[in-house]
Structure 1
Amino acid sequence: MIKSNFWAGPRREYKQAEFLIEDHTDIELFTQIGVKNQKIYNEVKHILEKRQSSLSVTIRKDWYYND
């Protein structure tokens, strides 16, 4: 984990891109999903419920850069 609070410009975008997935992947490969806020939490929970997944979703603001 990078211990910095000051990421801007290209560095920020490079680091955020580390976790992009092209096309699709098996959701069972994940152990949890961390989201930035309640709105996204609700959307993700709805999607997982439709797919009958018990994958854990947690609001983790500390995983995201500040806007």
Structure 2
Amino acid sequence: MAGAKQVKLTLVRSLNGRLRGHKACASGLGIRRMHSPVVVNDTPENRGMINKISYMLKVEEA
């Protein structure tokens, strides 16, 4: 989608010992490992997943 707003996400806390749903959200956002930034489109679906695991993420405008 041309011109879509994007958000840069970085995992700053480990996924070890987290709830299955929280791990699934990280996986759904394309996050693979800590401190590796991922850029995703700023859609309501992605925002919901970001809000759910916001305590583990650093979120920046891309």
TM-score (norm 2): 0.28
- Higher RCO (C-alpha 8 Å, min separation 6): 2
- Which structure shows the bigger proportion of residues in strand conformation? 2
- Higher-helix-fraction structure: 1
